[in-house]
Amino acid sequence: MVFRSSGCSKSAMTVLALFTAILLTSGTLGLIDLSWAYASEAPTAQDRLVSKETWFAVYLEEEFTETLTSVDVLLKNQSDKAYEGQIRFLIPPNSRIAQTCEINADGEHLCQPAKTENTADGTIVTWDVGEPVAPGGTYHAYMEWYNPTIAEEEMRQFATQLTNPYDTEKLELTLVLPSRAHSASFTVEAQGLAVAANNGVTKTGQSYRRYVWGAASGGQLIEAHLQYTAAKDYSSLIKTFLLVAGIVGFFGGIIFIALRQSRKNVATHSATRNRPDRGRLGSKGSGDTKGDRDTFAGSNGELDRVRRLLYDGRISEETYKQIVSDIKKSK
């Protein structure tokens, strides 16, 4: 018995044969990439991007109930294809995101909205890279978020768990204390990594402790806990005292000058009456500058005391500038 195929069946067989031939030759000709069919998932940002340097920083301020944390990552595309995916970070749960940005070559922060997803490990934050990152190219990512601070009278405590987002050649964490903090203690641990620590002072007079690790894998956890005592803030009281002292000194100086001038006028009038010729032929004097020095001696003394408070770390540079401005205005 002989079976005859219809024209439609012949066409279907022809298409099937062509498709089979393409599949068999795809590895050679590169017409179809079926790698996705055999991989558990497509390559992620963590597979294609690596970090040259990763900086974490935690800023504590006793005036606020939240602590600011930032992460600054310089990423490099290590693949041979342009990267057009997303930037991904994992931050502690219940964090309040402040900003998510790209830092361009001019140092400008190009911020944009981010997507969030709450998981058992924390909050996943992602945003698009925008322009594709060329093979070997870099992308500078920056992010800030807030977490609650535990405050008990003068004692402050803060604990956090930071996750290194990408494989990195260098990992760094800086803990910055408020200007009035003292008796601080730090506990920082990144399991399996050796660390070097050092202390320093910022340009605004705040103490910090910096931890530096070498290479670290993506997902590496950093446990950080610190505790310190917040010194009482006398800056507002000092400012009020200096303002009142300046006002009193200012009006006291005016009264002093007025009395001094009155005495000089009386003496001049008396001398002119006794020696009329000398009075008519006398020339103008150069003026008495000692009175001016006496008038502002009090203000200079207050400035010296304010400078001492600044040097002792009892007031911030911003408070010092404001007090100086107030004293100058009261002159």
Q: In the chain, which residue ranges form alpha helices assigned H by DSSP? A: 7-29, 35-38, 45-48, 235-274, 276-281, 290-311, 317-330
115-118: strand order across its sheet: 86-91, 123-128, 115-118
- pLDDT per residue rounded down to tens, the chain (331 residues): 433 444 444 455 554 454 444 444 444 333 323 222 222 233 455 568 999 999 999 988 766 778 899 999 999 999 999 999 999 999 999 899 999 999 999 999 999 999 999 999 899 999 999 899 999 999 999 999 998 877 666 777 788 899 999 999 999 999 988 777 777 778 898 888 888 889 898 887 888 999 999 999 999 999 998 888 766 544 555 667 677 777 877 777 788 787 777 666 655 554 444 444 433 333 344 444 344 334 334 556 677 777 778 767 778 878 888 888 888 777 6
Pick from 87, 159, 161: nearest CA to 121: 161
Residues whose CB is less than 8 angstroms from the CB of residue 256 and which lie 6 or more positions away in sequence, other chains included: 291, 294, 295
Q: Are 174 and 58 in contact (CB under 8 A)?
A: yes
List every span in the chain annotated with CATH 2.60.40.1730. Answer: 45-230
The CATH code that applies to domain 45-230 is: 2.60.40.1730
